[in-house]
Structure 1
Amino acid sequence: MDAKTGEMGGCPMGHGDGGVRALLGRTNRDWWPEMLATEILNPNGATNPYGEEFNYAEAFNALDYDALKADLKALMTDSQPWWPADYGHYGPFFIRMAWHAAGTYRTADGRGGANSGQQRFAPLDSWPDNGNLDKARRLLWPIKQKYGKNISWADLFILAGNVAIEDMGGPVFGFGGGRADVFEPERDIYWGSEDKWVNQGVQTRIAPEHGMHELEGPLAAIQMGLIYVNPEGPGGNPDPLLSARDMKATFERMAMNHEETVALTAGGHTFGKAHGNGDPSTLGHAPAGSDLVAQGFGWVSGEEHGGIGEHTVTSGIEGSWVNTPTQWSENYFRLLLDYEYELVKSPAGAQQWQPINQREEDMAPAAWDPNKKVPTMMTTADMALKVDPEFRVISEKFRNDHEAFKDAFARAWFKLTHRDMGPKARYLGPEVPAEDLIWQDPVPAGTMPSDAEVAAVKAKIADSGLTVSQLIKTAWASASTYRKSDHRGGANGARVALEPQRNWEVNEPDMLAKVIDTLNGLRGNMSLADAIVLGGVVGLEKAGAAGVPFTGGRGDATQDQTDAESFAVMEPEADAFRNYVGKKKLAVKTEEMMLDRASLLGLSVPEMVVLIGGLRVLGANHGERGHGHFTNRSGQLTNDFFVNLLDMTNVWKSVEGSDDQEYVATDRAEGKERWRATRADLIFGSNSELRAICEVYAEKGGQERFVTDFVKAWTKVMNADRFDLPQNKQSNTPVGVAEPALAE
């Protein structure tokens, strides 16, 4: 972060530094200083009222799914006086709620999305772009109360959106349950460093004169407090071409191509209306800053009529996009493309576009008087689909082929609302589509090898001439791609042998190819994915560990089942576990990147410490780099890293010209060089919390505990993506909390 400007630089795709940047960005307490500090009661991580033994998958499978959907359908037209439904139908409201629950997902670090129901908590519950969605969630409360633990809020948000689309005649591709709730904000997500929301004059995160590469990684939204883009245009500038640029940037970072972007925008705006028929200056605080008597409601209007119904102000834009706002239709593209538009202002002062000389039959019914006709409107973001040449071609295609539009919208909506759930093996319920989609990272079912097969392949690997270092590096390269944020990556599928992973610099492509070729020649009927993990077991046992667990059954993906572009954003720019730093200068410190990588792996602090200490002595450093290899027994699983790091006879100094990236230790008495290290090594002796754990492994008797703890943490990483294993079923463990895996 620049001390003068407050701006943060860095890789445009972020590559998983969202957790690190969360430490540098603004917190809930920055926005709402009076917020109750409940985290003081959770020093060891989030708690869950259902208890540690609760299994959400089991609870969901016991759900009366048809009854739940029937209740949701009935709710769509059960208008409540405290928040009446536009046109007598809540469907568009619930579509927006589901969309915004899912739409925070970003590909760079897999964070955000609907997977844990974060829309219930600050800051998301109080983002300007989520205005009045607190009412949608309260409308769902009687249904959540009725079905209790059998349906999570996270699943209910998305299912309500699906039922809304169905009830208005729209296309739905399917639904998969399995999103387990958390019960506090996920604090490892960086939402941005700005100190103003989108409606307070903050500019777009892309400078007008520059391209979309300037959007700070890992962010996806264009302005603070937005899900996607400012509907009035970048920074409020009603320029459709600049809006198109912003849309392309942000939707790409949320895993959508340009055709999916057009389909989602048009399909979503086929329903409902925007709200700006009132005075926005009378609105009260967002939910996180509202009064006690509001009971969690936000944006309470001070106008005499209460600011509800006809007088609601949300975005400030007023009107519906089409003349049939509660029915799926072909009208969006017809109205967008057939009419010329002029820039006008809503009653709330927002800039929007109105058709010129609109025919009465193309006007929309007034939301509160079906006998009254009012003009439709388009936002600047909608006009982008008409004005931008690439978007225009797609819009014309969908206008001329409605079936193609229906299919594209249904698939894009399914992707939007399921992208962060991970592999299809995690999906629950009767409406899971049979089709495998490439963005689900499909892996063919594996076969469980027999004990005899495992023993035979182990013996062959042990006699193959592959070194401990090679076996450990390859297994780690395969499994450590896993990230708990969106459950992508991991050893299952053996994608480390496919593009793009096989050519990532951090994976040492030449060495990796040699190991993969050797394992392919030895594995027989065993999957390559299993053989890679089994090779790690052989490496550990050669290094002195005994009885390292191995559970087979992984499958092997093909290149055709692998979206190389989607995986490319997961390439590490730094990996402290392998003491690797790429050529690009990082905006954050390597030890901070280390914490983020450990967080995405679901590791606790002790697990991170023990893994790095073990990987160092096993020779897992990138490119045979000797830094942090504090041992004279290379390839043996010893506690030497900790013992020698904490040796008080060392004197450490920065290597001149290394910009504090390389250090040398000399003997205090004789001045002879002993060791070389990086920041990702010395932080374990410098930071008091990390040092405290290192001391446990360095003290007398620490060797045995170290080996036991290393094997447990290693096995956890190797099996992190095995959703078929009991310990990885959808449990009650919050997404942001690492389960302990060390010795009792």
Structure 2
Amino acid sequence: MDGNDIPAGGKCPVMHGGNTALANSGISWWPKSLKLEILAQNDTKSDPMGLDFDYRKEVQKLDVDALKKDLTALMTDSQEWWPADWGHYGGLMIRLAWHAAGSYRMGDGRGGAGTGNIRFAPLNSWPDNASLDKARRLLWPIKKKYGNALSWADLIVLSGTVAYESMGLKTFGFGYGRADIWGPEIDINWGNDTQLLAESDQRVEDVTNPDTMYNPLAASHMGLIYVNPEGVNGNPDPALTAKYVRTTFARMAMNDEETAALTVGGHTVGKCHGFDAEIGPAPEGADIAEAGLGWHNPGFKNTANTAHTSGLEGAWTTNPTKWDNGYLDLLFGYEWEVKKSRAGAWQWEPIDIAEEHKVPDATDPSIKHNPIMTDADMAMKVDPIYREICERFHKDPEYLSDTFARAWFKLTHRDMGPKANYFGPDVPAEDLIWQDPIPAGPTGYDVAAVKAKIADSGLSVSDMVATAWDSARTFRNSDKRGGANGARIRLAPQKDWAGNEPDRLARVLGVLEGIAADTGASVADVIVLAGNVGVEQAAKAGGFEIEVPFTPGRGDATDAMTDAESFDVLEPMADGYRNWMKADFAVSPEEMLLDRTQLMGLTAPQMTALVGGMRVLGTNHGGTKHGVFTDREGTLSNDFFVNLTDMANSWVPTGKNMFELRDRKSGTVKWTATSVDLVFGSNSILRAYAEVYAQDDSREKFVKDFVAAWVKVMDADRFDVA
């Protein structure tokens, strides 16, 4: 039978899996091929709102008062298909908001609630997020009512905030402005664990030391937001769990006080559900008849006390729908012992508890249950640092309420970036250090005069372009941190980063700061303008008169406005655009280039144009000549692509990730290169882009595309003018 023949019966004539599963597509046959899918996250083709939709503008039309009234009413509008515990959905909505925000990790800024990613795999089907599909369905009538003026991302976080308010907490505020994504975030590495809830040793080198957990991961297991509530690897040990709690929350940008406040405040309301361990598959694996819901529970009898989520069963406080100090009253008021829940999960219960301190059943208040604590809760009592903090909270409930409200605000807003991204009447007036505040910059100065002074300063094209690039390249679209605005490249820790070439940087900044002082411009603006001047000079040398677009108004941050320790995570360990790596890493230089590109919000064609341009401009770190495929360095030309694709040249490996480009006939070495250079000739997709720019009719196109990509990087953090 011919390979193209289809049997007459018994076989489906449709490709199974190949159109939907990357693992079954051709790319998996060649595992060494550089996979560019990470850059597809910036594609807009899958966005149903269209290119003209601007959520930042749309959300400002929102009737916030009406929305909050509707959400408050929802909290006590119990539905038969998923009834509320004690007639109040507050605990469920808080958990939804918390787990949406709790996937954030500071290492690369990815995760968090800012995109509504909990609607998609894998987060929508993580074991830790069981039953949160029900919370989103409860919110659907409100989302439907307010439509495009209210994103899912904003609604999910707001639901938790309103829940706390409805139970008596004075919250710190709320900022709208989280735009939704429309598919899974394929750029996030959630870990290489072989299964969900695999033991910690799959992501921790030494299980006794959580600091050995692989960066940038924060959660102790695949499928959990934080730590295993039953204990490390399911073994109760509050002292060891305390170490994991500290590491996990630190990697989410929380200090010990914030961590303790979040633990106490998060468990002051709501409950755990462990009716039956026999539940169906998660939403992504559920039958089509489940209509997108998951975790079907055969034992569920449409009552709150027959629901199943984690397997743990019980509430932490006597009044689980009220913000009070009951959590600490019970934690410190009793001794606790480890027991199994009715579903077989390890949990802690009090010894000889008074009847009045027991918890009413979530469905039948005439029935009373013991309160419970997880291993992480017991860590607050066992760990000496957490205990001291919690004892202060216990003595001063107002202190707890204020600390928790601020920590909750940080948890749910940390990935939104500067306050310029916040909208609505409840945005706090106070500037917080973790928001990376930047003062407004001057706009009334003479831009042309500044550019003239820069041009006459004696700085080289390489000096100007590299400095501007280093200032801007720290931007992370993941959590909107970094970038050129603020000119933090002149402050600690950035001024001392090896990737910024401190000696060269100090020399260039000395010139640019003088120009800023003379002209009334901010240093941040002058740094970017200097890069623009360098690009314009290089384009002119190549025969093209261009003016790089520029918008003034960047401000200059101060040391007092900069949380230097939190900026450590922004330090580049590699920059393929400047052909530099700080050290050898487990992943290839090309993969690190893709990661940096995705964080900056660039596409593959923009990456291609920028790398080719940066090479011929001579901006390599330390002045190396790798990839500088031109004899007119400092001229913005398409020479990089022309010589890369010229079959008169051959590529010869000379070491790890190092090559020589030699003349095929004579064997003469013409240039040296790294794997980051040659990937634009070896990868079929990147070569296709390189060939476009190598064409004889693409010289002008290349210059225009380089400038457009350059401006995108320089303006990536200009939320004030977006």
**Shorter chain as normaliser: what TM range?**
over 0.9
Deviation at 1:299, TM superposition (A): 0.9
Letter matched to residue 426 of structure 1:
N
Secondary structure of the corresponding residue to residue 143 of structure 2: helix
Identity of aligned residues (%): 57
Deviation at 1:30, TM superposition (A): 7.1
Q: Distance in 2 between matches of 1:191 and 1:44?
A: 21
Letter matched to residue 562 of structure 1:
T
Deviation at 1:373, TM superposition (A): 2.2
Letter matched to residue 570 of structure 1:
L
Deviation at 1:206, TM superposition (A): 2.7
Give the match for residue 168 of structure 1.
Answer: 167
Measured against aligned partners, the alpha-carbon deviations of 1:234-267 in whole angstroms (never above 9, x if no partner) come to: 1101010111111111111111111111100100
Letter matched to residue 119 of structure 2:
R
Give the match for residue 416 of structure 1.
Answer: 411
Q: Say if 1:364 and 1:210 are closer, same or farther in 2 by CA, change over 3 A.
A: closer
Deviation at 1:406, TM superposition (A): 1.0
Give the match for residue 578 of structure 2.
Answer: 578
Letter matched to residue 616 of structure 1:
R
Q: Contact between 1:591 and 1:683, CA under 8 Å: does it hold in 2?
A: yes
Letter matched to residue 49 of structure 2:
Y
Q: Distance in 2 between matches of 1:461 and 1:601?
A: 27
Deviation at 1:46, TM superposition (A): 4.2
Give the match for residue 710 of structure 2.
Answer: 714
The match for 1:368 among 363, 370, 377 is 363
Deviation at 1:205, TM superposition (A): 3.0
Report the count of equivalent residues. Answer: 682
Measured against aligned partners, the alpha-carbon deviations of 1:315-336 in whole angstroms (never above 9, x if no partner) come to: 1011110111111111111211
Give the match for residue 509 of structure 1.
Answer: 502
Give the match for residue 87 of structure 2.
Answer: 88
Q: Contact between 1:204 and 1:235, CA under 8 Å: does it hold in 2?
A: no
Q: Say if 1:642 and 1:30 are closer, same or farther in 2 by CA, change over 3 A.
A: closer
Q: Contact between 1:284 and 1:300, CA under 8 Å: does it hold in 2?
A: yes
Give the match for residue 216 of structure 1.
Answer: 214
Give the match for residue 46 of structure 2.
Answer: 47
Deviation at 1:48, TM superposition (A): 2.2
Is 1:440 matched with 2:440?
no
Matches within 5 A, 1:62-73: 62-73=61-72
Is 1:690 matched with 2:686?
yes
Secondary structure of the corresponding residue to residue 543 of structure 1: helix
Give the match for residue 275 of structure 1.
Answer: 273
Q: Contact between 2:80 and 2:302, CA under 8 Å: does it hold in 1?
A: no
Q: Distance in 1 between matches of 2:98 and 2:133?
A: 14
Measured against aligned partners, the alpha-carbon deviations of 1:115-172 in whole angstroms (never above 9, x if no partner) come to: 1111111111110000001111111111111111111111000111111000000131
Give the match for residue 121 of structure 1.
Answer: 120
The match for 2:232 among 234, 253, 264 is 234
Q: Say if 1:610 and 1:208 are closer, same or farther in 2 by CA, change over 3 A.
A: closer
Give the match for residue 463 of structure 1.
Answer: 456
Q: Distance in 2 between matches of 1:239 and 1:155?
A: 37
Q: Distance in 2 between matches of 1:125 and 1:406?
A: 30
CA RMSD of aligned residues (A): 1.8
Unaligned runs of 5+ in 1: 1-26, 32-38, 729-744
Letter matched to residue 575 of structure 1:
D
Letter matched to residue 276 of structure 2:
D
Letter matched to residue 494 of structure 2:
Q
Secondary structure of the corresponding residue to residue 342 of structure 1: strand
The structure with higher relative contact order (CA 8 Å, sep 6+) is 1
Give the match for residue 626 of structure 1.
Answer: 625
Secondary structure of the corresponding residue to residue 693 of structure 2: helix
Deviation at 1:90, TM superposition (A): 0.5
Give the match for residue 617 of structure 1.
Answer: 616
Q: Say if 1:205 and 1:242 are closer, same or farther in 2 by CA, change over 3 A.
A: farther
Q: Distance in 1 between matches of 2:523 and 2:134?
A: 51
Secondary structure of the corresponding residue to residue 115 of structure 1: coil
Matches within 5 A, 1:317-336: 317-336=312-331
Letter matched to residue 185 of structure 2:
E
Deviation at 1:279, TM superposition (A): 2.1
Deviation at 1:474, TM superposition (A): 0.4
Measured against aligned partners, the alpha-carbon deviations of 1:92-122 in whole angstroms (never above 9, x if no partner) come to: 1100000001110111111111111111111
Give the match for residue 492 of structure 2.
Answer: 499
Q: Distance in 2 between matches of 1:46 and 1:214?
A: 40
Q: Contact between 2:487 and 2:524, CA under 8 Å: does it hold in 1?
A: yes
Secondary structure of the corresponding residue to residue 365 of structure 2: strand
Matches within 5 A, 1:544-583: 544-545=539-540, 546-583=546-583
Give the match for residue 155 of structure 1.
Answer: 154
Give the match for residue 4 of structure 1.
Answer: none
Q: Which moved more, 1:644-653 or 1:472-481?
A: 644-653
Deviation at 1:353, TM superposition (A): 0.5
Letter matched to residue 405 of structure 2:
A
Q: Contact between 1:28 and 1:123, CA under 8 Å: does it hold in 2?
A: no
Q: Distance in 1 between matches of 2:611 and 2:695?
A: 17
Matches within 5 A, 1:260-339: 260-276=258-274, 278-281=275-278, 283-303=279-299, 305-306=300-301, 308-339=303-334
Q: Say if 1:449 and 1:618 are closer, same or farther in 2 by CA, change over 3 A.
A: farther
Give the match for residue 382 of structure 2.
Answer: 387
Give the match for residue 258 of structure 1.
Answer: 256
Secondary structure of the corresponding residue to residue 366 of structure 2: strand
Q: Say if 1:42 and 1:357 are closer, same or farther in 2 by CA, change over 3 A.
A: closer
Q: Distance in 1 between matches of 2:437 and 2:41?
A: 37
Secondary structure of the corresponding residue to residue 520 of structure 1: helix
Deviation at 1:202, TM superposition (A): 6.6
Q: Distance in 2 between matches of 1:185 and 1:709?
A: 29
Q: Contact between 1:243 and 1:380, CA under 8 Å: does it hold in 2?
A: yes
Q: Say if 1:30 and 1:679 are closer, same or farther in 2 by CA, change over 3 A.
A: closer
Q: Distance in 1 between matches of 2:408 and 2:400?
A: 12
TM-score by length of 1: 0.89
Secondary structure of the corresponding residue to residue 420 of structure 1: helix
TM-score by length of 2: 0.92
